[in-house]
Structure 1
Amino acid sequence: MVQLVDNLVERVLPRIRRKPVLAYPVAAAIFVAAALLHAFLANWLPPSLPFLTFFIAVLLATLLAGTGPGLLVVGASLLFAWRFYFLASNQYTEFDATIALAAFALMAGLIVAVVHLLNRKVESLLNERDRNEGLLQDSALGELQLEQLNVELRHRLKNTFAIIAGLVSQSARYSADVQSFASALSGRLAAMGTAMDLVATRSFLGASLNELVIDTLKPLVPPGASRMTIQGPDGIVPGDVANALALTLHELGTNAIKYGAWSQEQGVVRVSWKFDRLNDDDAEFELVWDESGGPPVSQPERRGLGSLLIDSGFPSAKVERTFTVDGVFCRMTAVIKQTTTRRTRGRRTAQPT
């Protein structure tokens, strides 16, 4: 079964994406399945989520068949929803229907764009593997390195698909309407894509923590002088930690915009961290998120997916989050693997806006 899944992810799906004669029929079949599922669940789907099955269809079509087929599913979903949902329902005015369709088109387009970047990264990893096969096939050491690359590639691809599937289902579960679902999903996929790109550029050894913090939070920092400062020695965090940490930072930044320091003109977020080396492989890691200048915040009455992502942190992490009169204070501590660490003096850097 494992070999079958590996062959599907590494060989079958890329071949489908490279052949339009296969890719577009696959996308059409996915759309038909989504439309039938929508009709079957029509009596159970809440009115606020008319596009739920089509969001999933867009995501699957882009992952399996490519960008063009994914855009085809977006267009077909718009036509289907207009003809068989909005025109057939008396609950929506023409203006409401137009706004809902426009929001779906925008968010679905963002999903296609993010998954397109993930597909390109998968293709580049496959091409890199093929290139290494040609260079290292005559060397026993090369064969060992090639096997390690294959194992890492399979691990990363399966983790990527599992995380995406989990984010889709959980984001839909905790979202009240189509716009909030699509917006939350696209932001989380973008944060995960940032972490994956940083890990891939270092041959899967890990990601630079300094780059991870800046690249993840840069799209969220509001305009103004010194709205975010970072302080800490640059170091390498493992790939699984980088993915989870990027999602955690994204959720903290999103909450700061909605409720915390970044919702006020003078609010500031300070991100600091440190590494205490325990031995050659392990380091005790601590990261602190500290908001100031924001409105008083309190423990949310209902735990959404964002709170779950923050409080769960990353594997083996201990997360402490408190709500103060200035904003949120969050500390994450864990022992992590660090096979490669570049030590520098702690420095404070103002995030440009």
Structure 2
Amino acid sequence: MLDGGAGPFVGRMVQLVDNLIERVFPRLRRRALYAYPIGIAIFALAALARMGLSRWLQDTVPFLTFFLAILVTALVAGTGPALLVATASFFFSWYFFLPGPGWGEITPATVVALGSFAVLSFFIIAVVHLLNRKVESLMNERARNEALFQDSALGELQLEQLNIELRHRLKNTFAVIAGLVSQSARYSRDVDGFAQSLAGRLSAMGNAMDLIATRSFVGASLRELIAETLKPLVPPGTQRFEMGGPDTIIPGDVASALALTLHELGTNAIKYGAWSDARGTVSAKWTLSKIDEDEMSFELVWDERGGPRVSAPERRGLGTTLIDSGFPSAQVEREFNEQGVRCRMVAVLKQTTTRRTRGRAASLY
């Protein structure tokens, strides 16, 4: 339990973070005179940190501190300064660490490392740019709602719900992005593997965020989420993927977690399972059953057929962790047999209807 002094302190810290995200950062991004010096300062700190960690970090991860610098710069200062930091990081890492120091001979490994860094940096900047635009769009919507409903009790409730959802969604999204960057770097053996795994996970989360944003951050269509997440992974050919089940609206947090889990299952199918050859197929079937007025049982079965024989992984990586425990409060069972992988997920989805959304949907889960 917080004592008398800790409670007000925590409240002030929460208020400070809200003020930074909603007011300070958008203003900085609109003022190049402040945004670019901030980006340069962040790059300088990242460069000093990377040089200081050289004795502990292997040369296979020369960009570790710079990914975080690019992410923070894009959030705080905007897209232009983030591109500047990415460019400076590119040449700094090339000169000092690949093979370093000095420009040295350009090897295929150097080209792959620098190319992966450039692509992934651009991807991170693009995702954060999209999120920044969504945040400012929501803030503009809030301003319009304030003008329209300032004398209405219903309008005040809508504004409060929008503010809460905006803060909650923004904090969770950037926390997940930071966690994915850190954990992907931890479990990756080289820069190329790190870039590919992180890019795919960020893409899956970005698709989920886009679906959530189209419904004013209320949630995402379950059917659309599964289809859009797996669409880039399904190999060419007829009847390689089959999906089926009732549609519903799932909360934003659940949608992001489910998208990451399905992405890992699809990626594993491409590498080792049914989609690794020309004949294997995958089906994703789910059911929904009502428990009471506030909860619904959700069960999804991922079933691979016709691929090579699979076995349980010897090493537990981030992908395995996301499948087994990435979906909140879900029970996950996986079977490895001659037919392929069979994964069964069971979870309870809570109803998320509010007065603001009941007019558009009878029940949202």
Alignment of 1:185 with 2:218, yes or no, is: no
Q: Does the C-alpha gap of structure 1 residues 312 and 27 become closer, same or farther in structure 2, counting only changes over 3 Å?
A: same
* SS of structure 2 residue aligned to 1:204: coil
1:58 alignment counterpart: 70
Find the counterpart in structure 1 of residue 185 from structure 2: 172
Corresponding residue of 1:346: none
- Which amino acid in structure 2 is aligned with residue 36 of structure 1? L
Whether the aligned pair in 2 keeps the contact of 1:273 and 1:285 (CA below 8 Å) is yes
Aligned to 1:153: 166
After superposition, give the CA deviation of every residue in 1:154-193 in whole Å (9 maximum; x if it has no partner). Answer: 1111111211111111111111111111221121112112
Partner of 1:304: 317
Indicate whether 1:251 and 2:267 are aligned: no
Comparing 158-167 and 93-102, the one that deviates more:
93-102
Q: Which residue of 2 aligns with 1:112?
A: 125
- Residue 314 of structure 1 is matched in structure 2 by 327
Cα offset, 1:114, TM superposition: 2.0
Instruction: Note the C-alpha offset of 1:124.
Output: 1.6
Q: Describe the superposition over 1:103-137 as per-residue Cα deviations: whole angstroms up to 9, x where unpaired.
A: 22122122222222222222222222222112111
CA distance in 2, matches of 1:93, 1:326: 48
1:35 and 2:47 equivalent? yes
Figure out how many residues of one structure are paired with residues of the other and give that number: 343
Which position in structure 2 is the counterpart of 1:280? 293
Q: TM-score, normalised by structure 1?
A: 0.92
Is 2:33 aligned against 1:21?
yes
Opposite residue 46 of structure 2, the aligned amino acid is A
Structure 1 residue 290 and structure 2 residue 303: aligned?
A: yes
SS in 2 for 1:272: strand
- Matched residue SS, 1:336: strand
Call closer, same or farther: CA 1:14–1:90 in 2, change over 3 Å.
closer
Contact kept in structure 2, 1:194 and 1:215, CA below 8 Å: yes
How far did 1:140 drift?
1.6
Q: Cα–Cα, structure 1 residues 56 and 280, in superposed 2: closer, same or farther, change >3 Å?
A: same
> Within the alignment, does 1:261 sit opposite 2:271 as a pair?
no
Is 1:319–1:333's contact at 8 Å kept on the other side of the alignment?
A: yes
Given the alignment, which residue of 9, 18, 37 partners 1:6?
A: 18
* Distance (Å, rounded) in 1 between the aligned partners of 2:44 and 2:143: 36
Q: How does 1:202-221 map to 2 (within 5 A)?
A: 202-221=215-234
- How far did 1:89 drift? 4.3
SS in 2 for 1:43: coil
Q: Distance in 1 between matches of 2:326 and 2:284?
A: 15
Once the two structures are superposed, the pairs formed by residues 68-87 of structure 1 within 5 Å of their partners are 68-86=80-98
Q: Distance in 2 between matches of 1:104 and 1:217?
A: 25
The residue that corresponds to 2:351 in the other structure is: 338
Q: Alpha carbon RMSD of aligned pairs, Å?
A: 1.8
**Letter matched to residue 340 of structure 2:** G
Seen in structure 2, the aligned counterparts of structure 1 residues 100 and 252 have a Cα distance that, compared at 3 Å, is: same
Measured after TM superposition, the shift of residue 323 of structure 1 is: 1.0
Q: Report the Cα offset of residue 91 of structure 1.
A: 12
Q: What per-residue deviation string (whole Å, max 9, x for no partner) do you get for residues 274-332 of structure 1?
A: 11012222111101111111111111111100100100042221111111213211011
Q: Which has the higher contact order (CA 8 A, sep 6+)?
A: 1
Say which is worse superposed, 214-223 or 186-195, in terms of deviation: 186-195
Structure 2 gap ranges (5+): 1-12, 354-360
Q: Distance in 2 between matches of 1:166 and 1:65?
A: 21
